């Protein structure tokens, strides 16, 4: 790990414009893609891809599941109506909720450090002023000597460290981005001049500073050759695609609504889901445009249903999205040109076995 580079990763205090719920890798594929974990109708569900068996899981006397996220191979859940709800990890293969006192892990950022899987505990309102590394799942704090001031997860245990710079007029803008692999090795540094080639937005028109928003989503593709950085607020996101062999900006684009899932990112294209007209799910293909920072958006499919959290299959061939309803269901949307509504697979989660714990 390039510790010297990490020590330079400084974030200007106070620039913390939060954008609501960011993707948590849910619905989650686990067990080598054989099982899907999703939340719907206030319960946590496991779905066996081969047999089609669906099982609901609830935490006894805790109300409905409010949110769930995947950290490594563990599923972490929050139960109850507010931020003071119950936090438990969940073993989806055994169908068991586990006791944990370290509730802060729910907000932690997966980030490998020198070959060790870790989570990074961010600053909080209770007086913590720095990011701290903990081994995962043991949660033993590491004495790294690294002063990282802004960390963004980039898929799995990959991560980026963000630097914010000030221009001559004193406006804040994206400085540089340190990129780290699944094993915690330094991959590349996206320098300031390249980072500034992507377009930034605060939701009310496009502008080139990070005031009013922040880079709050990052994704390295599986071979770690391409990085996507997304920037935005509750209105929409702009993003940039970078080559991690040299840190160069390739192209960029934008979404028309908040980012609620993990796009499939390739060198020449990116795929995502978006909400359309408040009652449809749109499959979008993004490619480079005539101007590098302003990519093309192609709506490949519109499908009746409410937009929500989504994730891609391990091989990147389809998106899966969980929907509430009677019964709840999973939607499998192929990621390719020419897709029609007939290609969307709908699985009703009806073969459930209620297992309160």
Domain boundaries along the sequence of the chain: 3-351
Full strand arrangement of the beta sheet holding 248-254: 214-220, 226-232, 237-243, 248-254
Query: Residue 187 has what pLDDT?
Result: 96
Burial of 268 (0-12, 13-18, 19+ CB in 10 A): exposed
Q: DSSP code of 104?
A: G
Query: Residue 23 has what pLDDT?
Result: 59
pLDDT digits 0-9 by tens, 3-19:
333 333 322 222 222 23
pLDDT digits 0-9 by tens, 125-162:
666 667 889 999 888 998 765 666 688 999 999 999 98
Query: Residue 107 has what pLDDT?
Result: 83
- Positive or negative, the CA dihedral 93, 21, 221, 306 is positive
Full strand arrangement of the beta sheet holding 118-121: 109-110, 118-121, 132-135
Query: Residue 207 has what pLDDT?
Result: 37
Q: DSSP code of 239?
A: E
Query: Residue 287 has what pLDDT?
Result: 95
Query: Residue 205 has what pLDDT?
Result: 38
Reported CATH class of domain 3-351: mainly beta
Calpha distance 265→333 (Å, rounded): 16
Query: Residue 199 has what pLDDT?
Result: 76
The string of DSSP letters for 164-219 reads EEE-TTS-EEEEEEEEE-TTS-EEEEE-HHHHTTS--B-SSSB-SS-TT-EEEEEE
Question: What separation, in Å, do the N-terminal and C-terminal C-alpha atoms of the chain show?
Answer: 42
17 three-state secondary structure: coil
Q: Which residues of the chain have pLDDT under 50?
A: 1-21, 202-213, 354-357
Query: Residue 148 has what pLDDT?
Result: 65
Going by DSSP bridges, is the β-strand pair 159-166/151-153 parallel, antiparallel, or unpaired?
antiparallel
φ, ψ dihedrals at 230, nearest 5° = -120, 145
């Amino acid at each position: 790990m390039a510790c010297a580079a990490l020590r330079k990763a400084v974030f200007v205090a106070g620039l913390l414009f939060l954008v609501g719920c960011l993707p948590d890798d849910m619905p989650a594929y686990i067990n080598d893609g054989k099982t899907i974990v999703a939340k719907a109708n206030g319960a946590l569900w496991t779905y066996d891809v081969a047999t089609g068996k669906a099982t609901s899981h609830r935490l006894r006397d805790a109300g409905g599941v409010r949110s769930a996220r995947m950290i490594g191979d563990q599923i972490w859940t929050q139960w109850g109506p507010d931020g003071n709800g119950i936090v438990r990890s969940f073993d989806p293969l055994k169908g068991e909720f586990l006791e944990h006192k370290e509730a802060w892990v729910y907000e932690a950022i997966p980030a490998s450090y020198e070959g060790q899987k870790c989570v990074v505990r961010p600053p909080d309102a209770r007086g913590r002023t720095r990011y701290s590394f903990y081994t995962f799942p043991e949660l033993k704090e590491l004495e790294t000597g690294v002063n990282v001031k802004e960390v963004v997860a980039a898929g799995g245990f990959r991560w980026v460290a963000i630097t914010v710079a000030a221009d001559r007029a004193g406006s804040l803008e994206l400085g540089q981005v340190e990129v780290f692999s699944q094993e915690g090795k330094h991959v590349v540094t996206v320098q300031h001049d390249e980072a500034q080639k992507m377009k930034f937005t605060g939701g009310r028109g496009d502008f080139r500073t990070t005031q009013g928003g922040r880079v709050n989503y990052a994704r390295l593709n599986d071979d770690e050759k391409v990085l996507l950085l997304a920037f935005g607020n509750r209105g929409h996101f702009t993003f940039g695609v970078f080559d991690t062999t040299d840190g160069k900006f390739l192209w960029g684009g934008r979404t028309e609504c908040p980012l609620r899932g993990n796009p499939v990112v390739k060198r020449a294209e990116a795929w995502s889901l978006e909400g359309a007209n408040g009652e449809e799910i749109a499959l979008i293909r993004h490619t480079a445009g005539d101007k590098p920072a302003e990519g093309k958006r192609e709506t490949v499919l519109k499908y009746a249903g409410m937009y929500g959290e989504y994730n891609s299959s391990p091989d990147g061939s389809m998106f899966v999205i969980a929907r509430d309803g009677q019964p709840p269901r999973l939607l499998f949307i192929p990621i390719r040109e020419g897709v029609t509504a007939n290609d969307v697979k709908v699985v009703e989660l009806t073969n459930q076995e209620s297992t309160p714990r």
